[in-house]
Structure 1
């Protein structure tokens, strides 16, 4: 039985890693799309200085926002989990 639990734990770990990778890939794709649309009006062979600054600032804001939303969501999940455990203990 302990072997089955170990395999289940390893499988869950792999699934969590795959989900994290998929989330990171989605974030990068959305960031690229949004910042390109915002900053690049006439695509060419190279970015000019204003396009480079715009891309940099756009990516910084996108990542800051992504991190804020992720932290807020994680905190909410923790609060709900604590609340659920407290309700279970009372019942």
Structure 2
């Protein structure tokens, strides 16, 4: 592998890592916005058992939806990439 290929691969890896980190930040922000507001109407020093259950269920649903959307998005990108490589 040439030096330019090594540099290119390192840059691609770094960009992917930064994109993954940004994705994680967005996910956490949206979880906080959606689930916390829904499940904790009056913030206090600790969560009640009902609030904890609500947060857990909300986060699980949100994560499942997020993963499903991400999977569909990745599949679409791969399909479009394959189509471009095949000349469609």
Task: Please say whether Structure 1 and Structure 2 have the same fold, judged by a TM-score greater than 0.5.
Answer: yes
Residue aligning to 2:45? 45
Range 6-15 or range 61-70, more displaced: 6-15
* 1:27, distance to aligned residue in structure 2 (A): 0.6
TM-score if structure 1 supplies the norm length? 0.89
Runs (4 or more) in structure 1 with deviation over 6 Å come to: none
Q: Give distance in 2, aligned partners of 1:2 and 1:9.
A: 11
The one-character-per-residue Cα deviations of 1:16-69 (angstroms, maximum 9, x if unpaired) are 101111111111111112111110111111111110000000000000000000
Residue aligning to 2:4? 4
Local SS of the residue matching 1:54? helix
RMSD between aligned residues: 1.4
Unmatched 5+ residue regions in structure 1? Answer: none
Q: Give distance in 2, aligned partners of 1:4 and 1:77.
A: 26
Q: Give distance in 1, aligned partners of 2:75 and 2:17.
A: 20
TM-score if structure 2 supplies the norm length? 0.92
Q: What number of residue pairs does the alignment pair up? A: 88
What are the within-5 Å matches in structure 2 for residues 10-89 of structure 1? 10-87=10-87
